[in-house]
Structure 1
Amino acid sequence: MSEQKSLSQKLSGFISILLHPVFIPSLLFGWLFFMNQELFFGLTEKQRGLWFITVAYTTITFPLLTAVLLWKLKFIESIQMRELKERYGVLIASMLFYFWVYWVFHKQFQAHVLIQTLLLGVFLTCVLVFLASILYKISMHTAAWGSAAVFAAILTFESLPAAPILLVSVILLAGIVGTARLQLKAHSPQEIYSGYMAGLVAQILAYFVAPLI
């Protein structure tokens, strides 16, 4: 029994790392990049590559480096940031990174509105998680995947190619992530569902706000 529990814990830990929130913006952008070339119409191959690298560096490399730096400087006890107060520094830095990449794609690149919607949704999700974290802990994993599920639903509503496949896949992964976090006892059910709701609200808000900015 203990061996089964240990295996389950290890699998849940692996899932939590593999489907970590930090990877989601680049995964969704990559989907748009490879499956919906019309959103990048008029760009050279070099420009498209620059866009992808910009998103990946800003949403993966910079937040991870921030977390490692805070850990090395003893501002946080672990990369997992189990304590609520440990999240603040990383979340504030991530908000700055996410807003910057959104603003670059909005003002400088003048990207398609759906790309702007994705990046604005990522930023707003981070903002809502930070605001919620002032009062109580919610799951950053489920917030990110809740936002991803709504974005996939938006793509389906906008009739983008293969979007329904993405939607079903993201919903399935969102459920797997939530289950893994519960299995690890990293969150209570309320914290899991609050995360989903934060991501849902943030991405819906981004969908309606992005075209107006």
Structure 2
Amino acid sequence: MARFISFVFHPLLLATYMFTLFALVLPWAFSPLKEDGHFKFVMLIFCVTFVLPSLNIGLFKAFGSIKSMAMEDRRDRVIPFIFVTILYSAITYLFYSRTRIGIHDSLLKFLIIIDVLMLVGTLVTLFYKVSIHTLGMWGLVGILLPLNKVAEDGSLFYPTIACIALAGVVMSARLQLNAHTPREVMVGSILGLATGCLSVFFLF
């Protein structure tokens, strides 16, 4: 069960979950996209933030750059994390430069926040094996918490409560698998929550 939870809430899937939630309850997050293009964008996000990085990490494993796909050793994580950070940033830049999405549009701001979370995780991993699962989950919570003030209809309240509960479940799963120490899980949680909240406050 802990392995299943760790897979379902893999950090690379969280951008897809976030935009799926926004498509359901917070359509202005996709500004300036038209409403009929929201789920198409979600599928695009799934491909470029999960499928493409996963394939490349598989190539790193095939060529011996990392010992396993799970990347238990901190040193195994450095190259893939740097690659994914560069990939995410390049995708955001392409959206900005090749589409009509502008710097003041909500969609670009959320893409930037995802990039910042990935960058923080990568920088910390250079020196410390932090739990990226918990960083990602609490990063999502950190994004949703301040957005509750923006969504005046209360549509994000229950999703936020659910994400907090799921973040706790993910923390327990990572500890159950002995993938991380309690300190590594706690550091990931604090970094994710702080980065998510501060990014939303700064950009919105």
TM class, shorter-length: 0.7 to 0.9
Stretches of structure 1 that go unaligned for 5 or more consecutive residues are 1-10
2: distance between equivalents of 1:195 and 1:42?
33
Superposition pairs of residues 28-107 of structure 1, within 5 angstroms: 28-40=18-30, 43-44=33-34, 47-107=37-97
Q: TM-score, normalised by structure 2?
A: 0.88
> For 1:121-160, what aligned pairs fall within 5 Å after superposition?
121-159=113-151
Distance 1:40 1:198, change over 3 A: closer
TM-aligned CA deviation for residue 39 of structure 1: 3.9
**Structure 2 residue identity aligned to 1:122:** I
Counterpart of 1:15?
Answer: 5
Residue 77 and residue 177 in structure 1: after superposition, are their counterparts in 2 closer, same or farther (change >3 A)? Answer: same
Provide the C-alpha distance between the structure 2 equivalents of 1:121 and 1:43, rounded to a whole number of angstroms.
18
Which whole-Å CA distance do the structure 1 matches of 2:76 and 2:152 have between them? 39
TM-score by length of structure 1 reads 0.85
Q: CA deviation at 1:44?
A: 4.4
For 1:199, the equivalent position in structure 2 comes to: 192
CA change 1:44–1:122 in 2 (3 A) is closer
**SS of 2:126 mapped into structure 1:** helix
* Matched positions, count: 201
Q: Is the 8 A contact 1:113 1:210 kept in 2?
A: no
Preserved contact between residue 29 and residue 115 of structure 1 (Cα < 8 Å):
no
- The match for 1:110 among 101, 104, 108 is 101
Larger mean Cα displacement after TM superposition, 160-169 or 85-94: 160-169
Q: Which has the larger radius of gyration?
A: 1
Distance 1:149 1:45, change over 3 A: closer
The range that moved more, 151-160 or 161-170, is: 151-160
Farther-moved stretch of structure 1 (173-182 vs 87-96)? 87-96
Rounded to whole Å, the distance in 1 between the matches of 2:31 and 2:116 is 27
Q: CA deviation at 1:105?
A: 4.3
Any conservation in 1 of the 2:134–2:170 contact (CA below 8 Å)? Answer: yes
Structure 1 residues 103 and 26 mapped into 2: Cα distance closer, same or farther (>3 Å)?
same
* Displacement after TM superposition at 1:79 (Å): 0.5
Where does structure 2 lack aligned partners over 5 or more consecutive residues? Answer: none
